[in-house]
Amino acid sequence: MSDLNVVAATPLLITAGTATVALGAGLLPGRTMRRHGPAAVAIAGIVAAFVMIAVLWGDRQEAFNGGLRADRFSLLLSGVFLASAMLTILLAWREPAAVDRRGEFAGLILISASGMMLVASAGDLISIFLGIEILSVALYVLCALEVWRERSLESGLKYLIIGSVGAAILLYGLTLLFGATGSTSLSEIGASLQGTSLADEPLVVAAMALIAAGLAFKASGAPFHMWAPDVYEGAPTTVTAFMATATKAAAFAAFLRIFTGVMPDLQPDWRVAIAAIAVASIVVGNVAALVQTGMKRLLAYSSIAQAGYLLIGVAVGTIQGAEAVVYYLLAYGAMTMAAFAVVIIREREVEDGDSLAALTGYGRARPLLGVVMALSMLSLAGFPPLAGFVGKFLLFGSAVEADMTWLAIVGAVGSMVSLAYYLRVVAVMWMAPLEGQPRKLLRVPGPVALATVTSGVAVVALALMASPVLDACRGAAEALLAP
Amino acid sequence: MPWVSAIVLLPLLGALSMLAVPAAPAGALQARIHALVTAGGTLVLTAILIGLFDRDAAGLQYADHTGWAEEVGLEWDVGVDGISLWLLGLSAVVFLLVVVATCWRPPERPRAFLAMVLLAEAGLLGLFAAGNLILFYVFWEAMLVPFYFLIGMWGGEGRARATTRFVIYTMVGSLLMLVAILATAFVAQDITGQFTFTIRDLVGVAFTDTQSGWLFAGFALAFAIKLPLWPFHGWLPGAYRAAPILVTVLLAAVMSKAGVYGFLRIGLPVFPEGADLLAIPIGVLAVIGILYGSLVAWRAPTMRLLVAYSSIAHLGFIALGIVAFDLQASQGAVLQMVNHGIVVAAAFAIVGIINRAAPDDRIDGIGGLAAGAPRLTWIFLIVAMASLAMPGSNSFVGEFFILTGVFRQHLWLALLACIGIVYAAVYMLRLYQSTMNGPPRGPAPPRQAELRVADVAYLLPLVAIMFLIAFWPKSLVGATTATLERAIAPAQVAADRPADQIRADVTPNPPPDALPLPGDEMPEAEAAPEEAAPGEPAP
């Protein structure tokens, strides 16, 4: 396997290349070209990358001497990142933040996405860290894209500072892991950790703790979640949507790669740490979300709680757990994107559109958007037969199967609490009377409408047509655990 | 023909078809036609199913089975047995009447209202037909959504608080039920080597007493909240009061049966030891509910609250009949589920009619309606007699069955429950006397409350069913015997009841001769789920 095998890396290379072209397209002469050129280039690139994902789908191939892996796991998650990037670019069609910076916007989203793809397909500790840095640096800039708005700058700065701390901690952990095992290749680390117990490897204990903490920063798991509400609130909402869906998926890709993929034998040792983060996230996220009055902050705390549910699947460390996490990442991406899409649309209509009050009666004014939001909220709360229910069912099921029923009960109790705030959004949208707005089914530009409706449909479709999706997720989980 | 699937999916189809109907003024008629056709069609199909039903068979009949995501145990599995048959019938009748009443005097946004009613119907029919725990859970939860919107968007004062309470109360129980469902499947897999959520395959699994107790408790909490058993009834008064009257009818007549149905269909057969462990506590709570509901109903200031609390008392009787583990008592419980549904649907409708003359709903604000509304008085008298279980009425048969069985098993519980019957007479007669008799008083002339054509069309079928059941209860009870004998037999065995009371054989699962040695069990148990995944989609 000691060859370059560039073909296996094509999705990543296409995405990165497209990012460069999109950056350039923003500088082209001609107003129309500048306006729509970058987005068109980005979408074309994403479609090409999707095609390559479909072509490569199958058993594992390695590129760059094992530094990159193209297996079902990395390809499926790359699909999630790309879909998320595509929806973000569609939603940003008339984004004020991107008026003069369309090239930068599309380019940076794609750079970030390629960083995520690098994380998901990493076969090496270095690739993981590189990927995390690439995706973060692009996001630092994206958060501060609305340079004329103080909150946006604050958000970028906060994310930069806290993100760097998180990255430093992660790097420490990775270094210690290298020190303990003498290799940066994931397969070699896995081989040398096989069958060992932590009692005689204090370096590995420290490494695991630091890696878990560093990744928890990125996944916004409590108690490393402090940045999330402020950053989510301050960043342009399209960027927030991208962060909430894709970045979280990337962080969990790293979690699964390192913990479930490389150290399955040490699961009894690390599961306590991960379970503790999971419980803390479920508690903190759900309780804090109860008192929020802004949609973006509410969704930020909700995303912290959702990270907690996802960590349940990591903590159990089995194929079933990994399968559940991958499925839930798909479902979570769809439902979060749907919720943010409605917030984005509302923000462009009224000032202070991200407050919960701005949505009063909105469902009656724009029934289609109301339905999308209701689907998203009910699915996040875990109502059947929506994608969120199937996801929670799998996550709790994996916990019960691995004799960690208490974790499933914590998740169930957390879901009960979450109902209070998810249902409040639905109630505000549908149960308050119309405040004199004209009734319109949907009044937004075509691409934005397309992205919104697609996310809403995905929430239902992922559940009703769960069988093929679950097959893919199972394949991804098996690829993850293959030596 | 897949009868049961058709019955469950037809209302869903009707609800989805509302998407194609234009908005209110233009599509008002079309929406009504869609709703009437689907609700009517469901009743016709249900009636055919009742005709085709084999009354002597104990198992699930007309079972339909299709994969959904079988890798993880999700599948479509519906069927009908002697218990669910009558609940399907009850739902189909009550929902059709509600749809007719809605179409007669449409609320604002009729299209959405009717769509939600049909979704609720699909949810409840699916719940009563589900043969798979996950599917049961899906319907259990999914039906909350239409009710949430029905109360929240069309409800009266205090609806926001009432809906939130209603949903949170219910979800508290049901999310733990989800964990219990998962735990049941995995624990059963360790015992039988088969990973399944199908209820009939889980019957007879030899759980240890501790396992059975905890799993039953996980289910019982959800059922008790839905029932509602005292002290889990906090959501009920608010929801019944805030909902539009037709939705209150649906809640009280149909949705309230979900909890008792769960006990009878899942709790007793699958977790007999756990049910035996908790039978007395649940029985005590049921009796407290009977007394508490009756007393509060007696002093209730408004008519709706009176009927709502009387509902708690009546459901207490049904729950008591189930935990007695007695064939006659459980037959009475099933009969009483139907009776209560029919009677309470009529009672709330009458409250709605009286409210035309007394919009503030207060009992002391209205009186002497008999002078201006004689027809209403007649119907009300019949319904009141049925509600307080007058000998000769349909409820009398049901309560008699229940009490006979409970007397046989738990004398003191039965004695206490009898006090509830006395109080039923007190509160129902109080309501009847103060509103109908005496000199006319109230804000509007009594003629306002006289029955109109629409009211007669709604009430007459209900009264006809009451008489039918009163004179010919065997038609209903007969079909339940075989199913109930088998459903309660495991619990009777667990409770060490005398052999002459146990009418059905309890087949252990796995059969004793097929039990592998402890050493063989482990690889088989682990191999089962992997084998099941590729193997099952073939049929």
Q: ipTM, 2 decimals?
A: 0.83
Q: Is the pLDDT of residue A417 over 90?
A: no
What pLDDT is stored for residue B536 in this prediction?
Answer: 40
pLDDT tens digit sequence for A299-349: 999 999 999 999 999 999 899 999 999 999 999 999 999 999 999 998 888
Q: For A77-89, what is each residue's pLDDT tens digit?
A: 999 999 999 999 9
Minimal CA–CA distance to B204: which of B493, B477, B423, B437?
B493
Residue pLDDT, tens place only, A118-129: 999 998 999 999
- Which residues does A contribute to its contact with B (CB < 8 Å)? 378, 382-385, 389-390, 392-394, 396-397, 400-401, 405, 408-409, 412-413, 415-416, 419-420, 423-424, 426-427, 430-431, 464, 466-467, 470-471, 474
- How confident is the model at residue A326, as a pLDDT? 95
**Chain A residue with Cα closest to B162:** A427
pLDDT at A113 > cutoff 90: yes
CB–CB of B134 and A396 under 8 A?
A: no
Among B75, B165, B169, B182, most A C-beta atoms within 10 A, so best to mutate, is B182
pLDDT attached to residue A97: 58
Condensed to tens digits (0 to 9), the pLDDT of residues A17-75 reads 999 999 888 888 877 777 788 889 999 999 999 999 999 998 888 888 888 888 999 99
Distance of residue B256 Cα from the nearest chain A Cα, in angstroms: 20
Contact B137 A396 (CB under 8 A): no
What's the average model confidence in pLDDT over A168-175? 94
- Chain A positions touching B132 (Cβ under 8 A) are none
Could you report the per-residue pLDDT of B291-312, keeping only the tens digit for each? Answer: 999 999 998 888 889 999 999 9
Q: How far apart are CA B352 and CA B455, in angstroms?
A: 10
Across the interface, do A415 and B175 touch by the CB < 8 Å criterion? yes
- Tokens describing residue A156: 């970028």
Residue type, position A478, single letter: E
Cβ contacts from A onto B, under 8 A: 91
- Using the predicted structure, report yes or no on whether residue B534 has a pLDDT greater than 60: no
Query: By the 8 A CB rule, do B222 and B177 touch?
Result: yes
Q: Backbone phi, then psi, for B205, in 5-degree steps?
A: -60, 135
- Candidates B19, B72, B75, B168, partner chain A, best to mutate (most A CBs within 10 A): B72
- Nearest by CB: B172 against A390, A392, A416: A416
- The total number of residues written for chain B in this structure: 539
Report the sign of the C-alpha dihedral through residues B213, B214, B216, B217, in that order: positive
**What residues in chain B have their Cβ under 8 A from chain A's Cβ atoms?**
67-72, 74, 134, 137-138, 141-142, 144-145, 148-149, 152-153, 159-160, 163-164, 167-168, 171-172, 175-176, 178-179, 182-183, 186
Provide the pairing of β-strand B61-69 with A68-70.
Answer: unpaired
What DSSP assignment string belongs to A13-64? HHHHHHHHHHHHHTT-SSHHHHHHHHHHHHHHHHHHHHHHHHHH-SS-EEET
Q: Which residues of B touch A423 (CB under 8 A)?
A: 148, 163-164, 167-168
Residue appearing with tokens 């370096």 = A203
Which among A376, A193, A390 has a CA at the least distance from the CA of A309? A390
Per-residue pLDDT, B367? 81
- pLDDT tens digits, B114-163: 999 999 999 999 999 998 898 999 899 888 889 988 998 888 888 888 88
Picking from B69, B141, B167, the nearest residue to A384 by CB comes out as: B141
The mean pLDDT of chain B is: 86
Using pLDDT thresholds of 50, 70 and 90, give the confidence band for residue A142: very high
User: Would you say B279 and B406 are in contact if contact means Cβ atoms under 8 Å apart?
Assistant: no
Question: A242-257 burial by CB neighbour count: b if 16+ within 10 A, else e?
Answer: bbbbbbbbbbbbbbbb
Q: Which of A384, A427, A467 sits opposite B137 (nearest CB)?
A: A384
Nearest chain B Cα to A423, which residue? B164
Distance in angstroms (rounded) separating the CA atoms of residues A424 and B164: 8
Q: Report the chain A residue with the minimal C-alpha distance to residue B144.
A: A383
The answer to whether residue B196 scores a pLDDT higher than 90 is no
- Subunit contact A400:B186, Cβ cutoff 8 A: yes
B171 contacts in chain A (CB < 8 Å): 415-416, 419
Residues 6+ apart with CB under 8 A from A438: A365
CA-nearest residue to A375 within chain B is B145
* Closest to B58 measured CA to CA, from B474, B477, B485: B485
How far apart CA A388 and CA A418 sit, in angstroms, is 13
Written as six digits, the tokens of A410 are 């914590």
* Cα–Cα dist B326/B319, whole Å: 12
Q: What is the pLDDT of residue A283?
A: 94
Tell me which residue in B69, B167, B183 faces A405 most closely, judged by beta carbons: B183
Rg of the Cα atoms in chain B: 23
Q: Inter-chain contact A474–B71, Cβ cutoff 8 Å?
A: yes
Q: What is the DSSP letter of A261?
A: I
**Nearest chain A CA: its distance from B146 CA (Å):** 12
3-state secondary structure of B67: strand
Q: Which of B9, B74, B165 to mutate to test the interface with A (most CBs of A within 10 A)?
A: B74
How far A293 CA lies from chain B's nearest CA (Å)? 17
- Partners of B362 in the beta sheet? B302
The residues near B203 (Cβ < 8 Å, ≥ 6 apart) are B269, B270, B490, B509
**Residue A215 amino acid letter:** L
- Element of type H or E holding B64: strand B61-69
**Identity of residue A438:** P
Q: Which of A385, A394, A464 sits opposite B142 (nearest CB)?
A: A385
- Look at B134 and A393 and tell me if their CB atoms are within 8 Å: yes
Task: Looking at the complex, report in whole angstroms how far the Cα of residue A21 sits from the nearest Cα belonging to chain B.
Answer: 42
Shortest Cα distance, chain A CAs vs residue B54, angstroms: 32
Side chain identity at A34, as an amino acid letter? R
